């Protein structure tokens, strides 16, 4: 079963959107298999966003993600990586459609509420970076046969 890394960013936590975001993924039929509220170290932030190291907004991005607690999660389900990206909407909330998380709640591109892995390779890398293996739970949901 596919897994992805989803994070409510500091703005989403401050705005009280953890429950809303968890609820959307639960209602869709995905399964929460790992979660923690945590303050991100500079080292972890730089590693997580390593692909953006050369971008002009890298410094601002690291400052932001380390500025307050985030809610880090692992979600599991059929096609969860691509579907979660659809549910989040485009990176810039100005381009994100209503009905998506960023389209409904986001204000600007640096504070866009949520992160989700963009490919199977990123999902694997990010889950390993953020979670110890023993903190990701494997458990059966009987509803799985319906979805």
Report the catalytic residues: 115
Query: Per the annotation, does 102 bind a ligand?
Result: yes
Decide if residue 44 touches ligand IDP (CB under 6 A): no
DSSP for 54-123, written as a single string = TSTTHHHHHHHHTSS-EEEEEEESTTHHHHHHHHH--SSTTTSPBTBHHHHH--SSSS-SEEE--SHHHH
Minimum Å gap between C-beta 56 and ligand IDP is 8
In the complex with ligand IDP, the residue whose CB is nearer, 95 or 135, is: 95
Q: Is 57 assigned to a binding site?
A: yes
Residue 61 contacts ligand IDP per CB under 6 A: yes
Residues that contact ligand IDP, how many (by CB under 6 A): 9
Task: Look at strands 70-76 and 114-116 and give their pairing.
Answer: unpaired
Report whether 42 belongs to an annotated binding site: no
- Is 115 one of the binding residues for ligand IDP (CB under 6 A)? yes
């Amino acid at each position: 079963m596919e897994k992805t890394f989803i994070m409510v960013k500091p703005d989403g936590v401050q705005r009280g959107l953890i429950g809303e975001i968890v609820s959307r993924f639960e209602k869709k039929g995905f399964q929460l298999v790992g979660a923690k509220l945590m303050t991100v170290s500079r080292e972890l932030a730089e590693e997580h966003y390593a692909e953006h190291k050369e971008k002009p907004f890298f410094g601002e991005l690291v400052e932001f993600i380390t500025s307050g607690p985030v809610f880090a999660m692992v979600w599991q389900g059929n096609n969860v990586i691509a579907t979660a990206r659809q549910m989040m909407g485009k990176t810039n909330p100005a381009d994100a459609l209503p009905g998506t998380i960023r389209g409904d709640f986001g204000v600007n591109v640096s504070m866009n509420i949520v992160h989700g892995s963009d490919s199977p390779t990123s999902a694997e890398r990010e889950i390993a970076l953020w979670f110890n293996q023993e903190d990701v739970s494997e458990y059966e949901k009987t509803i799985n046969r319906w979805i």
